[in-house]
Amino acid sequence: MKTNLKWLNEYLTPGLDLSKQAVLDLAQQIELTAVEIEEVGQVAAQQDGLVVVRVDELKDHPDSDHLKITQVFDGQEKIQVVTGAPNVSEGQLVILATVGAHIIDRESGELVKIKKAKLRGEVSYGMLAALQEIGLPDAVCPEPIENGIHVFAEQDGVNPGDDALAVLGLKDPMIDTDLTPNRADLLSMRGMAYEVAAMTGQKVAEVADKGAKEAAFLADDQATVQIGETGLATGVALSVVNGVSVDKSPLAIQSRLWTSGIKPENNVVDAMHYWLLATGQPLAAFDLDRLADKVITVRLAKEGEVLGQGDGEEAMALRSGKDIVLVAGEQVIALAGIAMDPMFKVSHSTKNVLLVAGQYNPSFIRQAARRHGLRSESSFRLERGIDLTNTKPALQSAANAVAKASDATLAKGQALAGFDNIEETVIETTVSRINQVLGTTLSDETVVDLLEKLNLTVANNDGRLKVTVPGRRTDLTIPADLVEEVGRLYGYDNLPTALIDGQSTAGDLTRRQKKIRASRRIFESLGFDQAISYALMTPEKATAFNMMGKHPVLALDYPMSSDRTVARQNLISGLIDDVAYNVARSVKNIALYEQGRIFLNDNAAKQPVEEEHIAAVLVGSLAESTWETGEKEEEVDFYALKGRVETYLENIGVDQVTFKQSKAHANMHPGQTADVYAGDIYIGYLGQVHPEFVAKQKLPVIFAFELNLEEIILLSKREVTYQPISRYPQITRDLAILLDDQITNQEVLDVIWESAGQYLKDVSFFDLYKGQGTPDGKKSLAYQLTYQDQHDTLVEEKVTMDFAKVTEALAKQLGAEIR
């Protein structure tokens, strides 16, 4: 809310110091005590050199059909100014940007300096300006820029030589406050006055407009109001002003509106806005004579009803049973608090006006404003909660203002509906409770004093407080709210700083947390950078690399972009996006891992299953030296990836790990993909991403794995046991066998271990050979077997015997030829 401090001072005694430093200090105080500050200063803080001048002479430019040469008077001397303004005429009071003046350029938003200029041979000492040209936003200027320069009205009371910025209100000190949803009271001058008074020790005097010529006849006789259904509004009040003449508002009113961000329209509508800003009460004005029926009903929209048919504007469909509307008879005249039918708006021909002040149900207003995408100053306040005790006085001031503006007559009284269930809020609490929550030791007197500063009524009975809350503070309802009021006014800076005492608690990670953290550390040791990718993606990506089949996707009801519509079911897709991003930026060697959730939406009515997974991608070279070894030799391959997965599983404590060739993953290379098992439990897969898949995206060869961390956490329960290192010697035997190509290493190992006897400690594979010297369809494999007895020196004969059993079994079971 943009608060004009000159205006605010009308409420305050003795009044705020408006010097520059005092205003900055006040803003700081507001920020530390109430709400955040958006801006402090003046609307036109940087501009200068703008004066009011009178156009004394006017003649056409000899070399131009649209330029005119004027002689203007600035109170001291005549100045020649060339202007292209279409509306300039003699005798006008206008704004001159003098030579050397600074104004804000409309196009660039930058500060520019006015220079003496020659326009088609004629010297111009400055420029006549429109409001838009001196820094006022287009949205709040009463006239469009095409209409020309700003012209002061006679009753504005300005004189040649006056500082134009000052008379336009653009030098008034302003504080623009941000708003938290609870502090609806700070959306009015009146509310701001109470708030600022509490923090500066000022006294507040309510401001009202009165003294209009009042008619003997009643408002009630000209219009009545009823609330159709309970719950739509707590109260609605009408006033009628007869015999208005609609015209521009005085400059004083207009300037307050435009400094507050509202565009002046006419003396009726402006009064509505003025008193809305002053009191926070939404107000609407209708042309009474255009209403066919003078009975106003507040009810919900009916099926098929629309707002605003005529006027060539498109009608707005109303939400039946959901939108609160104002109807005159059966004619919808307004969507309550949000919009009105232009047909009933006050225009220059309006003679009699109907003013409406409503207290509509905040929840309905909020939904309507959202659904129709229409936020108004009124709806904004209504949905946050207005002062229900101030509706009638606010309307009364507004009606007086309308009547006085054009010497019209105010019909007596207000036509009312509702207003019967407005209860006072009383909160009971204790000083000790307030101290307990804040961690302070404030005295009863201090607490009472702080609450009274806010103009709350406090009854203190030995520390037991009964606090009556005025209607403007709709946010105060429970004792905790009073704790906040005391806390913030006392000053959070003044609170002591403590650390919780009392019972101590142990902070420790769970086993699950330790395993997850250890998993991350292991992959970092293995050279993978940690990635955190987006969890939302397209349905295709979300399911492209699932570990086990597709699940129904978890889809957003209303996504923000077509790239991110569902939650991922695998991590590899996100990592491939990361690879693509890196490749596009010429990064060639990529090792990324990610640990995060995947979402399996198997029951749409419930939350999905969320599983922690860990996945990684390897791309490019693994060379440690940039020059000693050829990069080619260090290119990532299946075994580079597999080895890392094996090291991880070994170190995290998963045993009995086996790898099984798998063709089940559609987006993986069918010959270079393996499912990973721990015993019988499937824990994930690894391999090369399908060459077709990467080719389509113009990506290099990618190796990837994904593991289910949930399974790994469950499986890795191995107790660490210590075994003394045997001091007895080891004996090794090398084994080279020739066998069918289809037989896997795993099968060979299985046979070796089954037939090995008790002393075999380790089998290491060290050679694979195919080609020259081996028959077609055969391959040669070589292993080293290590034997050791934990408790005795192993004799050669024993090893020879055991080794013979292995070779025999390989020959018999796998048809291996021992070489």
Query: For residues 357-376, which are near other proteins according to CB under 8 A?
Result: 362-363, 366-367
Taking 3-state DSSP, the helix, strand and coil percentages for the chain, each rounded to the nearest 5, stand at: 30, 30, 40
Is residue 478 within the footprint of other proteins (CB under 8 A)? yes
Is residue 558 within the footprint of other proteins (CB under 8 A)? yes
Give the residue, chosen from 4, 124, 267, 533, that forms a contact with other proteins under the rule CB under 8 A: 533
- Nearest approach in angstroms of CB 495 to other proteins is 5
State the angle between helix axes of 20-33 and 189-200 in degrees (0 to 180), rounded to the nearest 10.
90
Is residue 498 within the footprint of other proteins (CB under 8 A)? yes
537 close to 563: Cβ distance less than 8 angstroms: yes
Instruction: For the segment 705-764, give every residue that binds other proteins (CB under 8 A).
Output: none
Instruction: For the segment 579-618, give every residue that binds other proteins (CB under 8 A).
Output: 581-582, 585, 587, 590-593, 596-597, 599, 604-612
Instruction: For the segment 172-201, give every residue that binds other proteins (CB under 8 A).
Output: 180-183
Helix or strand run (H / E) with residue 636 = none
CA atoms of 254 and 405, how far apart (whole Å): 13
Is residue 530 within the footprint of other proteins (CB under 8 A)? yes
Helix or strand run (H / E) with residue 328 = strand 324-328
Is residue 19 within the footprint of other proteins (CB under 8 A)? no
CA atoms of 537 and 569, how far apart (whole Å): 10
CA atoms of 456 and 467, how far apart (whole Å): 7
- Nearest approach in angstroms of CB 695 to other proteins is 22
Say how many CA atoms lie within 13 Å of 498 toward its Cβ: 10
Is residue 626 within the footprint of other proteins (CB under 8 A)? yes
CA atoms of 116 and 110, how far apart (whole Å): 19
CA torsion 447→448→453→455, rounded to 10°? 130
- Specify the residue, 144 or 439, whose C-beta has the smaller distance to other proteins: 439
Binding map of other proteins across residues 36-55, x = CB under 8 A, - = no contact: x-------------------
Options 254-262, 325-333, 483-491, 663-671: segment touching other proteins (CB under 8 A): 483-491
Q: How far is CA 98 from CA 126, 128, 158, 270, 377, in A?
A: 4, 9, 18, 32, 37
Instruction: For the segment 377-416, give every residue that binds other proteins (CB under 8 A).
Output: 383-384
Instruction: Tell me how long the chain is.
Output: 819
CA atoms of 729 and 789, how far apart (whole Å): 8
- Residue 756 Cα to chain centre, angstroms: 67
CA atoms of 460 and 467, how far apart (whole Å): 9
Is residue 31 within the footprint of other proteins (CB under 8 A)? yes
Is residue 513 within the footprint of other proteins (CB under 8 A)? yes
CA atoms of 407 and 395, how far apart (whole Å): 18
- Nearest approach in angstroms of CB 562 to other proteins is 13
- Specify the residue, 306 or 426, whose C-beta has the smaller distance to other proteins: 426
CA atoms of 244 and 289, how far apart (whole Å): 12
- Nearest approach in angstroms of CB 9 to other proteins is 24
CA atoms of 431 and 462, how far apart (whole Å): 9
Options 168-176, 625-633, 722-730, 810-818: segment touching other proteins (CB under 8 A): 625-633
- Nearest approach in angstroms of CB 580 to other proteins is 10
Is residue 532 within the footprint of other proteins (CB under 8 A)? yes
Is residue 32 within the footprint of other proteins (CB under 8 A)? yes
- Specify the residue, 534 or 728, whose C-beta has the smaller distance to other proteins: 534
- Specify the residue, 475 or 675, whose C-beta has the smaller distance to other proteins: 475
- Nearest approach in angstroms of CB 403 to other proteins is 35
Strands 214-218 and 122-124: unpaired
- Specify the residue, 128 or 434, whose C-beta has the smaller distance to other proteins: 434
Give the residue, chosen from 432, 440, 774, 790, that forms a contact with other proteins under the rule CB under 8 A: 440
- Nearest approach in angstroms of CB 769 to other proteins is 29
9 close to 61: Cβ distance less than 8 angstroms: no
Is residue 568 within the footprint of other proteins (CB under 8 A)? no
Options 131-139, 322-330, 414-422, 523-531: segment touching other proteins (CB under 8 A): 523-531
- Specify the residue, 306 or 555, whose C-beta has the smaller distance to other proteins: 555
φ, ψ of residue 719 to 5 degrees: the values are -80, 135
- Nearest approach in angstroms of CB 518 to other proteins is 13
CA atoms of 407 and 198, how far apart (whole Å): 38
Give the residue, chosen from 5, 16, 27, 34, that forms a contact with other proteins under the rule CB under 8 A: 34
Options 11-19, 166-174, 279-287, 525-533: segment touching other proteins (CB under 8 A): 525-533
Is residue 578 within the footprint of other proteins (CB under 8 A)? yes
Assess whether the previous peptide bond of 14 is cis (omega < 30° from 0). yes
- Specify the residue, 54 or 384, whose C-beta has the smaller distance to other proteins: 384
- Nearest approach in angstroms of CB 711 to other proteins is 14
Helix (H, G, I), strand (E, B) or coil at 382: helix
Reported in sequence order, the residue ranges of 396-540 that DSSP labels E, i.e. its strands, are 409-412, 415-418, 425-430, 457-461, 464-469, 529-530, 536-537
- Specify the residue, 64 or 621, whose C-beta has the smaller distance to other proteins: 621
- Residue 31 Cα to chain centre, angstroms: 21
Helix (H, G, I), strand (E, B) or coil at 587: coil
Q: How many residues bind other proteins (CB under 8 A)?
A: 99
- Specify the residue, 268 or 386, whose C-beta has the smaller distance to other proteins: 386
Is residue 527 within the footprint of other proteins (CB under 8 A)? yes
Say how many CA atoms lie within 13 Å of 644 toward its Cβ: 32
Contacts 24+ apart (CB under 8 A), 509-513: 511/713, 512/713
- Nearest approach in angstroms of CB 79 to other proteins is 43
Which of 362, 403, 4, 395 lies closest to 170, judged by CA? 4
- Specify the residue, 250 or 527, whose C-beta has the smaller distance to other proteins: 527
Give the residue, chosen from 14, 201, 348, 500, that forms a contact with other proteins under the rule CB under 8 A: 500
Is residue 216 within the footprint of other proteins (CB under 8 A)? no
Give the residue, chosen from 142, 169, 282, 487, that forms a contact with other proteins under the rule CB under 8 A: 487
Instruction: For the segment 266-285, give every residue that binds other proteins (CB under 8 A).
Output: none
CA atoms of 472 and 10, how far apart (whole Å): 19
